[in-house]
Amino acid sequence: MESLTLLNTLVGFDTTSRLSNLQLIRFVKNYLAGFGVSSQIVENEDGSKANLYATIGPTDRPGVMLAGHTDVVPVDGQHWHSNPFQLDVRDGRAYGRGSADMKGFIASVLAQVPQLARSQLHTPLHLAFTYDEEIGCIGVRRLLEVLGGLPVLPAMGIIGEPTRMQLVAEHKGKTAWRVTAHGHEGHSSNPEAGVNAVEYAAELVSFIRSLARQRRQHGPFDPLYEVPYSTLHVGTMQGGTALNIIPASCHFDFEIRHLPADDPQPLLDAIRQHATQVLQPEMQAVDADCGFSFSEKTSYPGLLTPPDAEVVRFMQGLLQDSNPPRKIAFGTEAGLFSERCGIPTVVCGPGDIAQAHQPDEWLALEQLAACDAFLGRLVAQLSAG
């Protein structure tokens, strides 16, 4: 299976988001060039990472885009039974970091290139491979700047995130923020003389928790999602220097994962209003310089592709499955392609998201084979016109 050979190569590149992905991108560029396919490299600001965009077939027609991210999450602190950056195939599974999320899809796409190069494509196939998806869909934003200037955009996009080769047309959006409470330091023997940043941050965390409870109890709801409402979550918190010192600073990070039709802005406004109008006046009664500051860490939109969209009907034909598309809670780059460039996009790829980010991450070989077969049908469709 050529896709398995390519997956072995791709997993061998440690493209953890904190590292560079250039070795992998150069491999893909050279691989494509070996079949006469040129590609465009879109680097980040310091040239340490890059996206790749390539078109196979006529360049004056919209065509179909296959997209995926090249970065993976860290393995730090995880117990693996094999080298995470050396593919280990056993018991019908391919173990390795990124095998499911989502180098399996990229390998399957690259395995189709020899056939694509031999075919007389009436409709082009576009390839888009990005960096830093795992830390906020960062790399794709630079790629979208380039795509926005092209004379012809893809007519539709397929993001190969692991969905067990099931069609997905909707997913939640996400916005993540850091909140810093600025207090007034002092000796803990006289708490009233200071402003305890940790305690005020904790009060705001408690308020965020109450908003999460409201969404869980009152919605809005979409029963087709595994978690059928928008969620709020505080993930990290840090503050203070010693137990006998009133902490002068504390920060925490929170996120909102929202249904695509549920605008998160009212929730953000409520959090900021509670901080500045309820908590901050108490803080400033002691020291006028105290209060809260907010900074956005990352944000990406949800995906809301209509179930009767052309891309959905096209995919249902290729998948030989007329069931309605699914909805997923985890985010992808699909919403950005759709919102920023107007490319109707869906999500479909090999593997199970339950394996992503886990120790001993694995991809079932039957899933890889199913993706190979799906892409083979796509190539035949584009060749037929």
- What tokens appear for 95 in the block? 């173990």
Exposure class string for 127-158: b at 16+ Cβ within 10 A, else e: bbbbbbbbebbbbbbbbbeebeeeeebbbbbb
Q: Return d(Cα 89, Cα 101) in angstroms, integer.
A: 16
Nearest Cα neighbor of 25 from 59, 57, 48, 1 is 48
Strand pairing partners for 67?
128, 159
The H or E element containing residue 102 is none
Burial, 110: exposed, middle or buried (Cβ in 10 Å; 0-12, 13-18, 19+)?
Answer: buried
Measured between its terminal Cα atoms, the distance across the chain in Å is 27
Nearest Cα neighbor of 10 from 68, 81, 57, 55 is 68
- What tokens appear for 257 in the block? 């994962």
Q: Are β-strands 326-328 and 168-171 bridged in parallel, bridged antiparallel, or unpaired?
A: parallel
Check if 361 is active-site: no
Alpha helices for the chain (secondary structure H): 2-11, 22-33, 104-111, 113-118, 139-147, 197-218, 265-273, 280-284, 310-319, 334-341, 365-384
Name the catalytic one among 132, 133, 134, 255.
133
Check if 71 is active-site: yes
- Active site positions, annotated: 71, 133
